A and B are shown apart, each in its own frame.
Chain A
Amino acid sequence: MGNLILDILTTAAILFITSAGLLIIFGVMKIINFAHAAFITVGGFAALVAHQIGLPPLLAPIFALIVGGVLGAIAEAVIVRRLYERPLDAILATWGLGLIMTQLITASFGRGVQFLPPPISGTVSVLGAEYSLYRIVLVGVAILIALAFTALMTRTRLGLSTRAVIMNESLAQGLGINSARVRLITFGVGCGLAAAAGALITPLTSLDPAMGLPFLIGAFMLVMVSGGSLPALALACLVLGGLQAIVSTYVGSVLGGLTIAVCAAVALRIRPEGFARV
C-alpha cells in the first residue's frame, strides 16, 4: 500500500515535470509544441554532455535548461513566429522541427542506447516500503518547478506582461507590452523546461534519440485536460497519474500506459472544459 501511494505521487511528479513546459507554451501562445519530445531528448543528451565535461550532476538539469531554452528561442524566432495565425500548421512545423532535432542528435550521438549514472542513488524507507530515493526527490523538484513558475508569473514584471498577453494580446500591445518578446521568452522557457525534464528523467530511463516520445502523448493529454492552467495540470497529473499507477499495478503495464490517453480523451468528450474550472 505504501508502495502504491509512493508510486502515485512519483508518477504524478514525473508527469508534471515532463508536461510543464508544454503547458506554459500552450497557455500563453495557444499553440501545441510538437517538438516537445525532441526537447526532452535534447535535455537527456545535455545531461550526458554535462557528465562528460565533468559538471557536477546537480547542475545537469540547469545546463539542460539553458541549452533547451536557447534552442527554443532560436526555433521561435526562425519558425514558430510566422505561424501564430495558423495554429494547426504550427503543430506540423514544430513536429518537423522535432524530426530535424532527432536526426541531428542521432547523427551526433548514434542510434545506440546509453546510460547515465543517477546523481542520487539508493533507497529510502518511507511508509514501511523501500523506495528509490531519486524518485522521491523528483516529487520535491516538481513542487519546486510549480512554485518557481508561480512566483515568476505573479511576482515579476515579465509575469505581469505574460498574463496581460494571455488575457488580451491586442490590448497588451496597445499598452506598450512587447508581445513578440513575451512569446519568444515563453517558448524558450517552455523548451528549456522540457529539456530540464529530460535531464531529470534520464537517470530513470535510458538515453536514446527517441527517449522523449513516450512522454509526448501523456503530456499532450494532460495539457489539453488542464486547459492551460498550472494548478489544473497538477491536479490532472495526480488524478490521471494515480489511475495510471493503479492500473499498471493491478491490471498490467500495457493498459497502464494507455490509461492517461484514454481517460483524458473520454473526459474531454464529456466535459470539454476539462479540469480547468473545477
Chain B
Amino acid sequence: MSELAKEHPRAAVGDTGLWSSRVARRVAVLVVFGTLVLVAPWFLDAYTVNILVRAFFIAIVAVTVDILWGYSGYLTFGQAAFFGLGAYTLAITFSQLGFGPGQALLALGAAMVLAALLGALVGWLSFYPGASPFYATIISLVLPIVLVQLIYSGGNFTGASSGVVGYFSFPLMTETWFRVAGISMLAVAVLAHIAVSSDAGRLLRALRDNEMRCAYLGINTAAIRITLLTICAAIAALAGAGYAAFGGIAAPENAGFVFGTQLVVMVALGGRGMLTGAIVGALSIELASAYLSGILPYAWELLVGIAFVTVIVLMPSGLFGLLRAMAQRWTPWLFAPAPAVRLGDSAPKARESAVDAVVLEAQGVARSFGALTVLSDVNLTARRGELVSLVGPNGAGKTTLMKCLADGREASAGDIRIAGTPIKGMVPHRIVGLGLGRKFQAASVFETMSVADCLRIARSGRDKPSVLRSCAALNLPAAARSVVEASGLDTRFDEDARNLSHGLKQALELAMVLALEPDLVLLDEPTAGLTRSERNVFATILTRLVEQDRLCVLIVEHDLDFVRQISSRIVVLHQGKLVLDGTVEEVVNSPLVAEIYSGHQVTDDPAPTPTNTPEARA
C-alpha cells in the first residue's frame, strides 16, 4: 500500500478528497455546458438553432450507439429503428388523439415501453451463449429494414412513404426547444457517464474484450446485453419522440437503416468508447451536413465516406481519441490518476459441503464429432481436497473432457454432475454458479483492462456491482489474494493486462478464477511456457489450495515431474478412453503408462518422455 502511495503522489490524497475533487471538476464542466446551452439561442441565428435542436436529439441516440458499440462491442445499425419507433408513436398518438398533456404523457410512455419490448425481443434474437457478433450486427441491420417496410404498408395510419405530418405538438418557441433538447442531451450524457464509469459499466468493457472469459466467470453475458439493449432502445425512442414533437413529422427515413449507418459514422468519426466523441461527432456532422450538403451535394457525402474509411482504418479511436491521446501526452496534469487500489479481504463464502464432499461425478461421458469419436465412456469422480492430474498423449481427449465438464452442451452422451447437480444442456455461466472455475490453456484475461479491474470483474458475480458508483477497494478471497501476492501482481494493479508477461497473465487468470471461490477448479496446462521458478511458485500455490482451502483441482499437465510433485491422484486418458485412475505410485509404475508413452502401442505422436515437456499442442 505504502509503495503504491509513493508511486502516485496524487493518489495519496484520501479517497474522499480525490472523489470530491473529481466531482467538483465534473460539476464545473457541466455548469459551463449547461450555461452555454441556455444562453446560446440569443447568439445563434434561427437556422442554426433549428438544426441544433434536431442535432441534440440525434446526439442522444448517438450516445446509445456508442454505449452499445464503443463500450460493449455490439456493432449496431438498429438504433435508428428505435428512434423511428419513438417518432412514429408520438406522431400517431398526436394525430389520432389530438394534443394534450395526457396524450403527451401517453405518447412518451408508449414510445418507451414499445421500444423496450422491441429491444428485448431483438436482444433475445441476437444474444445467446455462443452467438456470433456478425449475427447480432446483421440482425440490427434487418430490424430497421423490416420496420420501414411495415411503415410503408401501414396506409393512412403510418402515412406510408410521406410519413405522419400535420399534428399539433407542444406549443414551444424554437429557443425553448433548444434549451429543452440541449439539457436533455446533457442529462443523458451525465447519466451515461455515471453508468459507464461505475462498477457495472466496467462489465460492458469486459464483454467487449472477452465474452468467453466473462461467461466462465459466471457472468450471464446474454442477460446483460439484452438488458443494455432494452434500456438503450427506450432512450433512443424518447429521443425520437422529441425529434417528432419538435419537427412535426415522423418520416420513414427517421427509422431507416441509412440513418442507422449515419449514427455509426458519427460515433466512429467522433471517437467510439468516448461519450464526448459520440456527441461531438453527432453535432458536428449534423451541422456540417446542414450547411454543406446544399452547397456540395455530391462532394459532401463523398467526403464523409472518405473520412469514415480513413478513420476506421488508420485511427480507430476517432478524432476525439486522437485529441485525448495528444492531451494525455502533453498535459498529463489534466487527467486525475485513478484512485489507489485498496486490497482487502472478502468475507469467505459459506461452504455448505463437507471438506471431502464429492464435487465432480462423471459417468459414461462421450464426445463425438460426426463419425469421429474423441471421448468414450469416461467415468471420473473427484472430491474436495484432491488434486487430480489428467495425463495422456496429445490427442487423447484431455482438453475435450475439460470442455465437457465446463459446458453442459458439449458432451454427446453421459451424465456429469457438479456438486451433485446434473449439468446436461447447461450453459457455462450457470455451471460456474455451481462452484466450478475454469482456467483456459492460453491465458484469457481482459486485455485492455487494468489488473485490478480484471480481478473486480471476476468478483462481480459475488459482490453485486453498483450502477452508480465505482469502488476503489478490491476485496479478494484468501486464495486469490495469495496468488496475487506470491506472483507480484499486487505491485502492478494499475497496469493494463495486455502489458503483462506470459507468466503474470497466467497468474492473473488463475487469481481471477480463484476469486470466484470455486469448489472445483479446472486447469488446462497452466505451466506451459513458464520458467522453472514460476512453476515452483505455482506448485506451492496449488498445494496450498488443495490442502488448506480444500479445493478440488483437476489439472491437465504434460510435465510428469510436476504431476508427481503435486498430485494426489493421476488419471490417464488414451485414445479417448480413461485407461487408468490411481495414486501417483500406481500410475507411475504402471506398465500400461510406460507402454503408452514409449509408443509401443499405436500412438500418433512422438512419445513425450517425463523430462521432455512439449510446449506446443496441436
Contacts and interface: CB of A to CB of B under 8 A. Distances in A.
Contact of A82 (B132, B304, B313): B313
A261 B143 CA distance: 9
B309 A221 contact: no
B261 A103 contact: no
Contact of A224 (B128, B138, B301, B316): B138
Contacts of A82: 313
Given A87-B134, A99-B304, A217 B142 contact: yes
Contact of B309 (A93, A107, A220): A93
B610 interface: no
Interface in A78-111: 79, 82-83, 86-89, 91-93, 95-97, 99-100, 103-104, 106-107
Interface in A229-263: 252, 254, 257-258, 261-262
Given A82-B313, A97-B309, A221-B142, A88 B75 contact: yes
A108 to B, nearest CB: 10
Given A89-B312, A217-B141, A100 B261 contact: no
A92 B314 CA distance: 13
A224 B135 contact: yes
A41 B131 CA distance: 32
Interface string B49-77: 00000000000000000000000010100
B138 A221 contact: yes
Interface in B98-147: 125, 128, 130-135, 137-139, 141-142, 145-146
A92 B302 contact: no
A100 B305 CA distance: 5
A268 interface: yes
B421 interface: no
B130 A96 contact: no
Interface in B283-340: 298, 301-302, 304-306, 308-309, 312-313, 316
Contacts of A96: 265, 305-306, 308-309, 312
Given A82-B313, A100-B306, A104-B302, A261 B75 contact: no
A219 to B, nearest CB: 11
A99 B313 contact: no
Contacts of A265: 125, 138-139, 142
Contacts of A95: 261
A261 B145 contact: yes
> Which of A88, A96, A99, A107 has its CB near the most chain B CB atoms (within 10 A)?
A96
Contact of B75 (A92, A93, A97, A217): A92
A91 B137 contact: yes
Contacts of A268: 135
**For chain B, what secondary structure do more than half of its interface residues adopt (helix, strand, loop), or is it mixed?**
helix
Nearest to A103: B302
A254 B152 contact: yes
Nearest to B74: A88
B313 A93 contact: yes
A32 B316 contact: no
A269 interface: yes
Given A87-B134, A254-B149, A100 B141 contact: no
B590 interface: no
Contact of A107 (B133, B141, B261, B302): B302
B235 interface: no
B442 to A, nearest CB: 14
A217 B145 contact: yes
A99 B301 contact: yes
B142 A224 contact: no
A81 B489 CA distance: 37
B153 interface: yes
Contact of B305 (A99, A224, A261, A269): A99
Contacts of B189: none
A117 interface: no
**Interface size bucket, A side?**
35 or more
B390 to A, nearest CB: 26
> Which of B261, B306, B313 has its CB near the most chain A CB atoms (within 10 A)?
B313
Contacts of B145: 217, 258, 261
B146 A103 contact: no
Contacts of A2: none
Given A96-B309, A96-B312, A261-B142, A272 B132 contact: yes
B298 A83 contact: no
Contacts of B125: 265-266, 269
Contacts of B134: 32, 87, 91, 224
Nearest to B132: A272
Given A100-B302, A107-B298, A254 B153 contact: yes
Contact of A258 (B149, B306, B312): B149
A227 to B, nearest CB: 10
Contacts of B268: 92
B309 A79 contact: yes
Contacts of A254: 149, 152-153
B264 interface: yes
Nearest to B129: A272
Contacts of A266: 125
Nearest to B150: A254
Nearest to B124: A269
B253 to A, nearest CB: 13
Interface string A54-73: 00000000000000000000
A246 B409 CA distance: 36
A217 B298 CA distance: 25
Interface string A265-277: 1101100100000
Interface of A: 32, 79, 82-83, 86-89, 91-93, 95-97, 99-100, 103-104, 106-107, 217, 220-221, 224, 252, 254, 257-258, 261-262, 265-266, 268-269, 272
Given A93-B312, A220-B141, A268-B135, 12 more contacts: A87-B134, A92-B264, A99-B302, A99-B304, A99-B305, A103-B298, A217-B141, A257-B149, A261-B142, A261-B145, A261-B146, A265-B125
15 contacts: A83-B312, A89-B316, A96-B265, A97-B309, A99-B305, A103-B298, A217-B141, A224-B134, A224-B138, A261-B142, A262-B146, A265-B125, A269-B128, A272-B128, A272-B131
